[in-house]
Amino acid sequence: MKTVAVVNHKGGVGKTTTAVCLSGALVKRGKRILLLDLDPQASASKWLEGDDTGRALVDTLLDDSDLLPLVCQTPSGIDLIPCGVQFAGFDRDAGGEPGGEFFLRQAIERLPADAWDFLLLDCPPSLNLTSVSALVAADVMLGRFPKKNFPHQAVEAGRIRISHLGNSGWRSSLLSTARIAFLPSVMPF
């Protein structure tokens, strides 16, 4: 399972739209997808008809528990770990814990690796502990950067992370699917 973090520190740039539509496009290509909503606004969860307060996700990450019981199937064929407003407490609760930025990665590592082809992480619109945790857990960062007011610093930070990926087949497949779903707005990693 390859983990993709969809991130940007700004709201309204299409992170959730990218995460949900790319998930749907990958499902149409026969891939098994798990989408983990990490945004307390829960837009991806609402879009995919998932319902949760977010407290179960916080408790799972803080208690070093298994994410698998939180997975729900959606009508679209995308598996979802939903989120909700109470997930906003994760940054506060985990921020004082040593290694809090690794809690998400450790929980993801306990998921059955062969159950899904891709795990997409829909991140909140900030560079908080949740977003940092997603980047620590991810194999690749997919950023949404509008042409207007292009945030060069965020792109440079992404290039550093992405530069460790090398050329692998799954990376090409993901980029190809993203180009089909979003056409000219997709840049190579």
Distance CA 32, CA 120 (A): 11
**pLDDT of 9 higher than 60:** no
Domain boundaries, the chain: 2-181
The structure tokens listed for 100 are 């809090």
Helical residues (DSSP H) of the chain, grouped into ranges = 15-28, 43-47, 55-62, 89-95, 103-109, 129-137, 152-162, 169-182
| Mean pLDDT over each residue of the chain, to the nearest integer | 78
Q: Does residue 97 come out as left (phi exceeding 0), alpha (psi in the -120 to 50 range) or beta?
A: beta
**pLDDT of 39 higher than 70:** yes
**pLDDT of 160 higher than 60:** no
**pLDDT of 103 higher than 80:** yes
Among 140, 101, 130, which residue's Cα sits nearest to residue 1?
140
Distance CA 102, CA 108 (A): 10
Average pLDDT over residues 86-106: 88
Q: What angle do CA 76, 81, 82 make, to 5 degrees?
A: 90
Average pLDDT over residues 145-159: 50
- Predicted pLDDT of residue 148: 55
pTM above 0.85, yes or no: no
Fold classification of 2-181 (topology level): Rossmann fold (3.40.50)
pLDDT, tens digit, 9 for 90 and up, residues 61-81? 999 899 999 999 999 999 999
Distance CA 118, CA 27 (A): 10
Distance CA 168, CA 153 (A): 26
Residues 6+ apart with CB under 8 A from 1: 34, 111, 113, 114, 115, 116, 117, 118, 119
Distance CA 120, CA 136 (A): 13
